[in-house]
A = this chain, B = another copy of it.
Amino acid sequence: MKRENMTRFAILGLISKQPMSGFDIKKAVDQGIGYFWNESYGQLYPILKTLAAEGLVEMAIEQTSGKPDRHVYSITSTGLQELRSWLMRPVEAQRVRNTLLLRLFFGDNVPTTVSIQQIEGVCNFSRGLLAQFEQLEPIFKQRPAFEYITLMFGMTYHKTIVEWGEQAIQLLQQQPSTKSNKKQRSGRKS
Contacts and interface: CB of A to CB of B under 8 A. Distances in A.
When all copies of this chain in the complex are counted, the total is: 2
Contacts of A136: none
Given A35-B96, A104-B150, A110 B122 contact: no
B106 A91 contact: no
Given A145-B175, A164-B156, A103 B77 contact: no
Contact of A87 (B87, B90, B107, B153): B107
Size band of the interface chain A makes with B: 35 or more
Interface in A127-154: 144-150, 152-153
A9 to B, nearest CB: 7
Contacts of A95: 38
Given A36-B98, A91-B103, A172 B149 contact: yes
Interface stretch (A47-55, A62-70, A182-190): A182-190
A99 interface: yes
A1 interface: no
Give 10 closest A-B pairs by Cβ, nearest first: A107-B146, A13-B106, A149-B168, A36-B101, A36-B98, A160-B160, A145-B175, A101-B150, A87-B110, A156-B164
